Chains A and B, each alone.
Chain A
Amino acid sequence: MSLTSLPVSAGGRRTPSPRKRVPGEPRSVAYLYILPALLIYAAFVFFPFVHSIYLSFFEGNGITRMEFVGIDNYVDIVRNPILRSAFVHALELIVFYSFLPIAIGLLLASALHRSRIRGVAFYRTALFLPYVIAPTAIAVIWRWILAPRGPLNSFLEAIGLGFLAQPWLGDFTWALPSVGLVGTWIMFGLVLALLLAGVQKIPTELYEAARLDGAGPWMEFRAVTLPGLRYELVVALVLTVTAALRNFDIIYVMTSGGPGNATVVPSYLVYQQAFKVSQIGAAAAMGTALILVIIAVNLLISRAGRAD
């Protein structure tokens, strides 16, 4: 089958011309075009990915001979409480990275839409900034803020709430929520920007129609705002949930998984097992499992977004 369209000459007859071809025809030329990108992708993404899946079935440090162990590394993830807790922490972080920013974002976006506030563009930019700053820099700043003698505790003491002061990142109960709230702070601006753009796209008449149909603010939100933001919500969920699951830099800088193992997450364990304790096989299994979880969760999200 040829998709080549032939130029029509003045007389209406089609005359073939070698110069006027559809771009990418013949096919061999098309493959040539994508070859450089394909090579880079294969070398740095596809091959390492496949290779690490391969490695995940072995045990060893990657230097001496590796021993084939089958799915033992995967069984370990389920059996070993520390490895398992890493995934539990990742799921808990979804609440902070994803649900919290989306909940606040929805509330603010619909509120901002209902009442015209001056300088929306300024707030949007200001709130978006954390997403632009390098996570490592953010982590350093927050580690300082949350330090036992850091600004947060000093502030609490200054306003007479000293009894609330905590060694935030050193406390078994508070370490994970503290890290999580930093994630909320980073993600919130992105989510709000997405949702605000979405809300502005919803025709005003829909809100008016809902009001005339007898809808109060809650019904208006449910019948107009929420369905109107469906695609924005899917995008926000995919971005934030993925960020929560693969979170590494924030944890690495702020807690290094501590105290104890209170804040270990899969990515951090991949790093630790591969480069600290030289368990290449276990690290590869952890990484592969993480990727599978991320893919599964994202499939779930986009399926839910498409379902009617």
Chain B
Amino acid sequence: MPQRVAFDDVSVTYPGMDSAAVSHLDLEVAEGEFLVLVGPSGCGKSTSLRAVAGLEPVSDGRILIGERDVTKVAAKDRDVAMVFQNYALYPHMTVAENMGFALKIAKTPKDEIRRRVAEAAKLLDLEDYLERRPKALSGGQRQRVAMGRAIVREPQVFLMDEPLSNLDAKLRVQTRTQIATLQRRIGTTTIYVTHDQVEAMTMGDRVAVLADGILQQVASPDDLYREPANAFVASFIGSPSMNLVDVPVVDGGVDLGGLVVPVERAVLAKASSDRVLLGVRPENLRIADDGAALTVDLVEALGADTFVYGTLQTPAGPVTLVARTQPSVRPALGSTIHVRPESCYVFSPDGTQDRLT
């Protein structure tokens, strides 16, 4: 039975640390939802996950699973299963024993353990490996055993802490889809931690972006991309990152290296100073006959896409911009091209750098 998970104003402070690892986190994960916690390292995403597991004591606030307040409940009594980054398989147990261990502790009848392990093994394509020990498995197989150990328990919540980061790039992409498909099929509420924004965007029903222990935004991948709440989310989501330039406000808009980019007066009025942060995604920066002058530093031709990196001279100093262009367009290094933003975001230059547009 899938359950919701709610963080109710949760803070976690490690002993001896001045600032909280997670600070006033308010977040609800719906029943059966796949929520991804994403952010750079040290942002508090793993800490939040471990708080749900009961592995990290909560200094303030409450954690609810279903209607049950589990804040003070021991990890072993929370009925959550976790997939660890290094899988944490018991080295002396076989795959089947690893997967059935929780059931064995719960004194589940042997027949049922065998049935459920066999079921999970079938689902994960592990049937041929049930009698092997983790040592005799490949990284991908170990990862699947770790998944199996979680599935077999039929817990209320799945917690996954960067479960793909020990796999090679190709396997990671494959497994990514498998996990997402599996989760939708089983329907168990899942919280998934990653530092990889591509994983976050491709897997999650919703994505929560954290930075410095503070929740920046929770939204569907699409909304996160199209309507980032602030400059941090804007630059974190999307690859290559959104171009962010500190620009002065001028008559009729903002000044991007001599090019006046039109911005509504009402938007600019919200900024507290005469500067704003202008955000333009690489795909929205078009090479044109006239516009802001860019000295080309690097051209990355990836086949389907070409990214052009160039330096823009602004009154505040040189700024590097990235533009996505047609594969056929390959400006020479050192040449000067002109770019024009097709659409842009405007962020407040101060404080939390909230989006103004």
By a beta-carbon cutoff of 8 Å, the part of chain A in contact with chain B is 203, 205-206, 208-216, 219, 223-224, 227-228, 230, 308
Contacts and interface: CB of A to CB of B under 8 A. Distances in A.
B313 to A, nearest CB: 50
B222 to A, nearest CB: 33
Given A208-B53, A208-B84, A213 B92 contact: no
6 contacts: A205-B86, A212-B82, A212-B102, A223-B90, A227-B91, A227-B92
Contacts of A208: 53, 55, 75, 82, 84, 88
Given A219-B105, A223-B101, A227-B92, A212 B80 contact: yes
Nearest to B82: A212
B76 interface: yes
Nearest to B102: A213
Contacts of A210: 90, 101
B37 interface: no
A289 B75 CA distance: 54
B209 interface: no
B76 A215 contact: yes
A209 B88 contact: yes
Contacts of A216: 76
B106 interface: yes
Contacts of B54: 211-212
B84 A211 contact: no
Contact of B53 (A206, A212, A224, A227): A212
Contacts of B93: 223
A154 B202 CA distance: 77
Given A205-B84, A208-B75, A208-B82, A214 B102 contact: yes
Given A205-B88, A208-B53, A213-B153, 15 more contacts: A203-B88, A205-B85, A206-B90, A208-B82, A209-B88, A211-B74, A212-B75, A212-B78, A212-B102, A213-B76, A223-B90, A223-B93, A223-B101, A227-B91, A227-B92
B268 interface: no
Contacts of B203: none
Contacts of B55: 208, 211-212
A135 B319 CA distance: 74
A215 B82 contact: no
The listed residue with most B CB atoms (<10 A of its CB), out of A205, A212, A227, A228, is: A212
Contacts of B242: none
B357 to A, nearest CB: 44
Interface string B85-108: 110111111000000011001100
A213 B135 CA distance: 21
Interface in B55-94: 55, 74-78, 80-82, 84-86, 88-93
A211 B75 contact: yes
B105 A213 contact: yes
Contacts of A213: 76, 101-102, 105, 149, 153
Contacts of B82: 208-209, 212
A115 to B, nearest CB: 13
Nearest to B92: A227
A223 B101 CA distance: 9
Nearest to A208: B55
A211 B106 CA distance: 12
A215 B75 CA distance: 9
Interface string B135-168: 0000000000000010001000000000000000
A77 B339 CA distance: 100
B3 to A, nearest CB: 16
Nearest to B105: A214
A55 to B, nearest CB: 46
Contacts of B153: 213
B91 A212 contact: no
B302 to A, nearest CB: 36
A208 B76 CA distance: 9
A227 B90 contact: yes
A215 to B, nearest CB: 6
A219 B93 CA distance: 14
Contact of A214 (B76, B84, B89, B90): B76
Nearest to B91: A227
Interface string B102-144: 1001100000000000000000000000000000000000000
A211 B80 CA distance: 10
A227 B149 CA distance: 19
A224 B105 CA distance: 14
Nearest to A215: B105
Contacts of A205: 84-86, 88
Complex A-B, nearest 7 residue pairs according to Cβ-Cβ distance, in ascending order: A205-B88, A213-B102, A209-B88, A227-B92, A211-B75, A214-B105, A214-B76
Contacts of B105: 213-215, 219
B90 A224 contact: yes
A301 B214 CA distance: 55
The listed residue with most B CB atoms (<10 A of its CB), out of A210, A213, A216, A223, is: A213
Contacts of B89: 209
